[in-house]
Amino acid sequence: MEKGIVRGFISVKIKELRENMGWKKGQLAEKLETTPSMVSSWEQGSRIPSIEYVFAMARVFGVGIEVFFPPVISETEKELEHELVHDFRKLNKDGQTIALASVKGFSHMAKYRNDLFC
């Protein structure tokens, strides 16, 4: 995976989590025992936090460390995604609305989900 992709993903995720908590950069910096300029550099993507800081952020945000990294997608999943997007774009507005509603319906059913233990 390209370093720039990881850097960009982490920077967006840090800012998103911080803002969701309602914290200023200085507040996050204080919790992590670092400086607001360091938090700023992570959020701008000019620096990548060390693994120690990733673990510390996971702790203060109450999330697993995996949220700071982009998902790994297999070639088969990429091909399937491309095919689905291609087919979706063929649909008119009504067809797209129905397709999205169907997917959302399935995604809420436990028996069709990967992330739930059924």
pLDDT at position 7 is 84
Residue 35 tokens read as 């400086």
CB atoms within 10 A of CB 46: 10
- Tens-place pLDDT, residues 81-104: 889 999 999 999 999 999 999 888
pLDDT at position 47 is 94
Look up the CATH superfamily of 3-68.
Answer: lambda repressor-like DNA-binding domains (1.10.260.40)
**pTM for the whole structure:** 0.61
* pLDDT bracket for residue 115 (50, 70, 90): low
Per domain, the residue ranges of the chain are 3-68, 75-112
How far apart (Å, rounded) are the C-alpha atoms in residues 98 and 35?
49
- Tens-place pLDDT, residues 34-85: 999 999 999 999 999 999 999 999 999 999 999 998 887 778 888 888 899 9
**Whether 79 contacts 72, CB under 8 Å:** no
Residue showing tokens 């291609």: 86
Non-local (6+) Cβ contacts of 21 within 8 A are 28, 61
pLDDT at position 114 is 67
**Whether 39 contacts 21, CB under 8 Å:** no
**First CA to last CA across the chain, in angstroms?**
32
